[in-house]
Amino acid sequence: MIRTRFTEDFGIDHPILCGGMTGLGTAELISAVANSGALGFLTALTQPTPEDLAKEIARTRELTDDPFGVNLTILPTIHPIPYDEYRGVIVESGITVVETAGADPGPHMPDFRAAGIKVIHKATSVRHALAAERRGVDAISIDGFECAGHPGEDDVPGLVLIPAAVRSLSIPVIASGGIANGQGLVAALALGASAVNMGTRFMATTEAPIHQNVKAQIVKNSERDTVLVLREFRNTARVVRNTISEQIVEISAREGATFDDIAELASGVRGRTKVLVEGNVEDGMWWAGQTQGLIHDIATVQEVVNRIVADAEQIIGNLSSLVE
């Protein structure tokens, strides 16, 4: 068993996390992650209302006795989100660990601190990680350029970003982006991280609540099958290369283009409905990282975690033979 500062501080068996993923962070997947000895996060805003989040937390507890957390992503939206109410549900439900992402977690910290909740903040740069540390978070999940979703605007890959964050921070660092196997776990530990966070790898699992066509496409795709969209609007996102994302790139590059020109194509509702639910993998924008090139099967969460840990332990043992 691999023990790190993070596994000790957060009371989990393996230094592996499944961070919040919109549309995927539900009871089926997150309870399976918890039962595997890793740490998973329900995605609060996947639930339409705070009351629905309370029900999803209760449903997850029916499926696991092991620790799990809730992701609260703080972003500007067209329609106001009752963040205070979602935070209240998290506190009242007795959740012990929260993953925050997006904007400054500071306004939420007093309530989380008062409830004894540990906070992991996801950042895409060292400067943002340091700001979150000053706010009192307990760990940083640092997102390298390889990741699915929003890698920030600095384009720094994990091989540089992880040790830079470790050197600058005094709290545990979780390596996020570009990791899908035991080799990635060992590399992250060698760079100074205390754990790894995976998203795309957990999408290609039996328990992931998405269409089988999506899982099969992830296995089929290579590390080249992603594209960066929304760069022109300083909201860079890494998504799967398909008909829709290529259209978004082409339209966005036109002189005078605005977000309104691609809003319908980039709609999250469209991606979740057309792709994740209906399985039309070419008919919406959907998220996956460059780790697609490292994923070669659809397996249960338990099988994925067991394999990663076993491979990592073997690699660590083999590396010791290189030192005389």
pLDDT in tens, 148-196: 999 999 999 999 999 999 999 999 999 999 999 999 999 999 999 999 9
User: What is the DSSP annotation of 221-255?
Assistant: --TT-EEEE-GGGT--EEEE-SHHHHHHHHHHTST
Domain with CATH 3.20.20.70 in the chain: 5-209+298-320
| Angle at CA of residue 176, ends 172 and 179, nearest 5° | 125
Q: Is the pLDDT of residue 65 over 90?
A: yes
Is residue 289 within 8 A of residue 179, CB to CB? The reply is no
From 204, 184, 203, select the one nearest 195 (Cα to Cα): 184
Mean pLDDT of 109-137: 97
State how far the Cα of 255 lies from the Cα of 30, in Å rounded to an integer: 43
From 17, 29, 294, 299, select the one nearest 181 (Cα to Cα): 294
pLDDT in tens, 286-300: 999 999 999 999 999
Two tokens at 303? 């099988």
pTM recorded for the entire structure: 0.95
The architecture CATH gives domain 5-209+298-320: Alpha-Beta Barrel (3.20)
Q: Is the pLDDT of residue 78 over 80?
A: no
